[in-house]
Chain A
Amino acid sequence: MNAWIQAIISVFANPIFYKSTLNQSTPLILAALGGVYSETTGVVNIALEGIMLIGAFGGVVGSYFTGNPWYGLALGILLGVAMAALHAWATIRYAGDQIISGTALILLAQGITGFSLVELFGKPGSTDLVRSIPLVNLGSFENVPFFGRIFSSLSPLVYIAFASVAFSWFLIYKTRLGLRMRSVGNNPEAADTLGVNVYNIRYFGVLMSGVFASLGGAFLSIGELGQFTENMSNGRGFIALAAMIIGNWSPTGAMWAAILFGAASAFNDQLQSQGILHLATNTQYLFGMIPYIITLIVVGGLVGRSRAPSADGIPYIKD
């Protein structure tokens, strides 16, 4: 017992834990924000997983062919938005089943990235190393004890993620567009009778989910290492979905839930590497399932209660 307390304290006392939390949270925050945009307007988007994957791939491809990782980022977002556009087209224009369409896009993203990987890089598995987005150097601040080590050499996408949360919060709660998004997601019929274009607002929400989810995906590939490996989103899209739900469909709530999940993962990693407990390697799997169990408890309403927008998941058919 004593050893456990010591080990936990040593993890929390280590700035690497906080840095790792920031790095692991960033893709989740961005993708969860994407989910918030889409579902605020009433379109369920389980394709976040696929959009992240294609965003990660686009990032590497763009960087590989131009040598400029920022162009890579742009290509990743472009592909993510294109994928989101397919979802929007199927579910808004043709009132298709949002879950089925999302499932299709997850498969499409896997297929397209796997296929193109072989076509462009000549081998399956992973791409060559490409230039990644340069890390932010904070100068003398990096010498500050503890905090300096947390914030030294972070990807600019980490800062972008947090800025995006603030931006999204203002957009959704403080602007005209945001008001219309929330009205369309809760009662599209009422919005329609007041002259709000339900379809356009929903298109906007779904396309924005493409922007943010692919940004989160690009962080995985060109945020640090500069490489794409097959299926590298590895379920993060679904965790982001869970963060959105636990965060009660709000940008800040989703951010906190994403940080919680990121911290759980970072904690798990650090607990394995500290030298006090000598944990068996398989304990990481026991800790690893915690975020999913939390999500089950929350969606089951066993603790707390999160409420989706009233019209979430229901196609709007104008007669």
Chain B
Amino acid sequence: MDKSNEKDNSKYAVVMEKIVKRFPGVLANDHVDLFVKRGEIHAIVGENGAGKTTLMNQLYGLIKSDSGKIYVNGVETRIENPNDAINAKIGMVHQHFMLVNRLSVVENIVLGMEPVRGPFFARDSACKQINELSKKFGLFVDPDAIIEDLPVGIQQRVEIIKVLYRGAEILILDEPTAVLTPQETEELFEILRALKAQGKTVIFITHKLHEVMAITDSVTVMRLGKVTGVVKTSDTNPRELARMMVGRDVLLRVEKGSAKIGKEIFRVENLHVNENRGLEAVKGLNFSVKRGEIVGIAGVAGNGQSELIEAITGLRKVEEGRVIFKGVNITNFSPKRRRDMGMSHIPEDRLKHGLVLDFPLYYNFILGKHDNPRFCDGEFLRLIDIKRFSDELVKRFDVRPPIINLLGENLSGGNQQKVIIAREFSFNPDFIAISQPTRGLDIGAIEFIHKTIISMRDQGVGMLLISMELEEIFSLSDRILVMYEGQIMGEVTPQKTTTEEVGLMMAGHKLEDLRTQEA
């Protein structure tokens, strides 16, 4: 953006200037500038962790900026809480809906700004206002329906009406299509067009490039907390956006020799898995992992990766298809039986699944192995052996401070992850399902963990690696599968692809389509 634009802020609905937001260990927004014209649909695109939502949470007053200025309709505005945002006619539809499930549509919409008649809540006049809004923007809902009975797409409409009811002129939608079916997405786009036609401004956070092309007027691309591009939608194409989104160079380099690939150890066939609300999250996956190789699964969070790994490790029910490990059909085996067969699991959420924070380290080191005869003589724990084993692991994996009596909660995130990795890598596993091994860790810990993963590969362990960090996938994997909406878009090897190509697959393009386009 050139200087003249910066000075003349009045033609913009929203201007965010040099926004800086630092979280412990991360610079989430690094002098971000954002210009959104009045009456346009403006996309903010970027990978997970690019800082999109953080930026919008500052605009909506959910978190405070460290520095920077916000102008609304050309006027500098201080937004310190959601009420300030509402007063500035800004509304936000969160990725996770803020709805009270047991209440009706009308009750949810007016909550906090209820019309009253005498002592009573004036339900009929609330319904009337809602029906007016519904008609004006094509947002049809039954005001008397109970939220929990409604499909997700309709719940989202309720969220949008809630924002409009509060008089919003500027609507922020955070990944609105992440939870929608293609038909619901199309309906949402109709609504967005209606909003635009009525003069509303829409800020649309997404990572799906075809949606950007379909509905928006202009785009701000973010990567690693910085703006990497501002373009008009009509002047760009998905390929260019993908390049700006994922960047060109892989920063992390892990030293590794070529893989000594052995026999197949693990396979899934036509795997179908549902997410918590019963919608299908994994839609018929087929792939295999061989000894001595790392298969990476790239993809934006929420495309079925978590459900996939939970199904593989026995924490989630498989709806259809088979999981084969060492030639045995383990589809319905308990987590414990899988562990006993030589499967390990580094979970996505280390605090929820990976550790018992109130346990000392030496207890955490044997979680899942506590009934192994090495640690347990009949009913009695072999505490001396457990502690000796833990001391060994603490040394070998450089856990700091190296005191096995400390509680899990007393360690830093990096050292907590080392404890989990030490545990899961011990006992000679044959196959390890790894999810987000380095999320939120510092460079030193990341390097150490990457080296350890490679050394396990070289010992002939088969590994499935799920990561939202494309760099991690590229530097560790021998093969890469790209997952989008529960399906695999294509399989590539890091040597024979580009981040741009993978970025396009992550945004919903099939590899075969991309390659035929090229040819």
- Chain A positions within 8 Å of B, measured between CB atoms, are 170, 174-176, 178-180, 182-183, 186-187, 189-191, 193-196, 309-310
Contacts and interface: CB of A to CB of B under 8 A. Distances in A.
Closest 6 CB pairs of A and B: A194-B112, A190-B98, A187-B100, A176-B114, A195-B112, A183-B100
Contacts of B83: 195
Given A176-B116, A195-B82, A196-B111, A182 B102 contact: yes
Nearest to A195: B112
B103 interface: yes
Contacts of B237: none
Interface string B117-144: 0011100000000000000000000000
A186 B113 CA distance: 18
B99 A190 contact: yes
Contact of B111 (A179, A309, A310): A179
13 contacts: A175-B120, A175-B121, A176-B114, A179-B111, A179-B121, A182-B103, A186-B100, A186-B103, A187-B100, A190-B99, A190-B100, A190-B111, A196-B111
B98 A189 contact: yes
Given A176-B121, A179-B111, A183-B111, A193 B98 contact: yes
Contact of B101 (A174, A187, A189): A187
B107 interface: yes
B459 to A, nearest CB: 44
B102 A310 contact: yes
A190 B102 CA distance: 12
Contact of A186 (B101, B112, B116, B121): B101
Contacts of A179: 103, 107, 111, 114, 121
Contact size range, B = 10 to 19
A182 to B, nearest CB: 6
A179 B311 CA distance: 40
A253 to B, nearest CB: 15
Contacts of B100: 182-183, 186-187, 190-191
A206 to B, nearest CB: 20
Contacts of A310: 101-102
Contacts of B116: 175-176
Contact of B112 (A174, A187, A191): A191
A91 to B, nearest CB: 21
B102 A309 contact: yes
A193 B114 contact: no
B111 A194 contact: yes
B120 A174 contact: yes
Interface in B379-408: none
Contacts of B99: 187, 190
A309 B99 CA distance: 14
A187 B82 CA distance: 17
Nearest to B60: A193
A316 to B, nearest CB: 14
A183 B82 contact: no
A170 B332 CA distance: 51
